[in-house]
Homo-oligomer: A and B are copies of this chain.
Amino acid sequence: MRDFATTEARLDITIAKYPAFPRQPAIVTRLVKHLFKEINDDANAAMRRYGLNHPEYNILMMLYGTPDNSLHPSELADVAGEKSANVTRLTGQLCDKGYIVRSGSEDDRRKVTLTLTPEGVEAIEGFLPDIVTLLHRQTRNLTSDEQGQLEVLLKKMLGGFGE
């Protein structure tokens, strides 16, 4: 995204042609799209040297964020924002790489438990320094306060979906 000023211009033209088009909501959603694409491309590039892509990284981190390094596929789909069919594929890849293992659960035999292996944890802790740098870079234009404000607003907006 070079120049967001032209976005304003495009919106002006759009509204001139179609006055009911809501300016503010359109700007916000377009900004979110652009930001996501940047974050995504950035993370993909960073993870490349580790033989992982952004969704795989995401999956690993969601598991790492649990006390016992494990989640069920449906939970994973939910927290990682991936479709369940995609989780099956992604976790399959990560199994092949030896970073996670699949096991059935006794309490509910429909469920599968996905758990990080020691190699998985090692891999995570290997790339985390790069990720830390990345995250700081991605938010470098915002003060801590502003990040806090952004958090509040994004959560609020997110709350409007899904019911």
Whether a CB of chain B sits under 8 angstroms from the CB of A160 is yes
CA distance A9 to B67 in the complex (A): 10
A85-B58 Cα distance, complex, nearest whole Å: 26
Contact (Cβ within 8 A) B161 A38: yes
Q: Are B139 and A146 in contact (CB under 8 A)?
A: no
The reply to whether A139 and B24 form a contact with Cβ atoms under 8 Å apart is yes
Copies in the complex: 2
> Are A79's CB and B155's CB within 8 A?
no
Q: Number of A residues whose C-beta is below 8 Å from B?
A: 72
The answer, among B33, B39, B132, for a CB contact under 8 Å with A29, is B39
A7-B79, A18-B125, A144-B24 given as contacts; is B157 within 8 A of A35 (CB)? yes
- Give the shortest distance, in Å, between A113 (CB) and chain B (any CB): 17
In contact, A32 and B36 (Cβ under 8 angstroms): yes
| Given A18-B125, A24-B139, A24-B144, 18 additional A-B pairs, CB 8 A | A1-B78, A1-B158, A7-B79, A17-B64, A22-B132, A24-B151, A25-B135, A25-B138, A25-B139, A27-B147, A28-B142, A28-B151, A28-B154, A32-B36, A33-B39, A141-B159, A141-B160, A150-B150
Instruction: Return the 3 tightest CB-CB contacts between A and B, nearest first.
Output: A10-B65, A141-B160, A36-B36
